[in-house]
Structure 1
Amino acid sequence: MTLGRARLPLVILSVFAISSCQTEDKSPQPHFTTNSRGQKTTGTAQANADTHFIEFRSRYALTYGHTYVVFGRVDANGNMIDPEVAGLAPASPDAAPYVMGHFIPVPATTGQTDGDLEEQYRSASWRVMLTDDEYSGVVAFIREQQANSHFWQASVDNCNNWVGEIARHMGYKTPSIWLRPQQFITELREMNTV
């Protein structure tokens, strides 16, 4: 009986990891831009107001994808100027740590990964324009998170959860961390925009 109980957490984690991979991604979703209150902005309003942004993003990958944030400044046309990328992923490009991370925590990286800024891989995004003060607060939180995130585990401490922490810090509601990244970003935007 004790042996069966010891395996229960492993079985539960396996079910969560497997169930999160059972849907398929859609074609790339449209780009959305709002202010921090979730109100849609236009290019002119954006150019005349806030010049800092955070973009919640997902991208396609060989597996179920990746969720991360891009942040920085934009020019008058809304083009990113020297963007930074942050997210949580296994620290190695090898497949073995990624596979192992579905069962046990593996070392993580919190910076840019391959394909994050390549437009052809973007599957969904939500850009939030921020005031200088809002931006400073979000970046400070991201830096703190990067300093304290050492492990990735697919069913508990995954890229969705990591990005969700940033969204919650900003006062947003967040969807389940067990969604595919494209679904996670789409639902995050839908839950918090008007």
Structure 2
Amino acid sequence: MLVLSAAACQTQDKHPEPRFVSDARPALEAKESRYFIEFRSRYALSYGHSYVIFGREGAAGEMIDPEVAGLAPATASTTPYVLGHFLPVPAETGASDGDLEEEYRSASWRVMLTEAQYKKTVAHIRQLKAKSRFWQASIYNCNAFVADIARSMGYKTPSIWLRPQQFITKLREMNVG
């Protein structure tokens, strides 16, 4: 496992991928509900980070009161992050530095949802956040956390050992025409 995670870290991120939007709502509900989940990756000092942003969308496509969920070591120190490549380390599941800053976004896929789809997805995210207490690079990392969310929505998911930008891009490609 360690060899696989180390090999995944050796590739380079691409330039930012364009933003993609898919609509999981029936045509009749498309104009009535403006809920979304966005699968995202961002650049970081390491190999990056994957996470989700969810909430309501305004008329111009802007996020209204967005919430962030992702899995990362529960510290700004590099020591637990390095140790987490060998042993599980305590994790946090909320926003981390750079998640909402556009200049760090490396890939994204926004999925528009009905209110019912949104409530079901948010309930799953809250349950996942409550039980996800540890981060370990090769077993349960940020990609694995995002994959759990995507699978709960019925999506196919790529390998958790990809770099976050590659993971989000492949997630979209596997599930959109």
RMSD over equivalenced CA pairs, Å: 1.6
Structure 1 unaligned segments of length 5 or more: list them: 1-12
Name the CA shift for 1:33/1:49 in 2 (closer, same or farther; >3 Å): farther
How many Å apart are 1:50 and its aligned residue? 2.9
**Residue of structure 2 aligned with 1:149, choices 118, 132, 140:** 132
Counterparts of 1:34-113 in structure 2 under 5 Å?
34-36=22-24, 48-113=31-96
What amino acid sits opposite 2:165 in the alignment?
Q
**Residue of structure 2 aligned with 1:161, choices 129, 133, 144:** 144
Which residue in 2 is equivalent to 1:24?
12
Percent identity over the alignment is 64
What's the TM-score once normalised by structure 2's chain length? Answer: 0.96
**Residue of structure 1 aligned with 2:97, choices 104, 114, 118:** 114
Q: Quick one: distance in 2 between partners of 1:180 and 1:132? A: 32
How many Å apart are 1:22 and its aligned residue? 1.4
**Number of residue pairs matched by the alignment:** 176
Structure 2 unaligned segments of length 5 or more: list them: none
SS of residue paired to 1:114: coil
How many Å apart are 1:181 and its aligned residue? 0.2
SS of residue paired to 1:113: coil
* 4+ residue runs over 3 A deviation: none
What's the TM-score once normalised by structure 1's chain length? Answer: 0.88
Q: Quick one: distance in 1 between partners of 2:138 and 2:33? A: 36
What amino acid sits opposite 2:89 in the alignment?
V
Whether 2:133 is the aligned partner of 1:127: answer no
How many Å apart are 1:49 and its aligned residue? 4.1
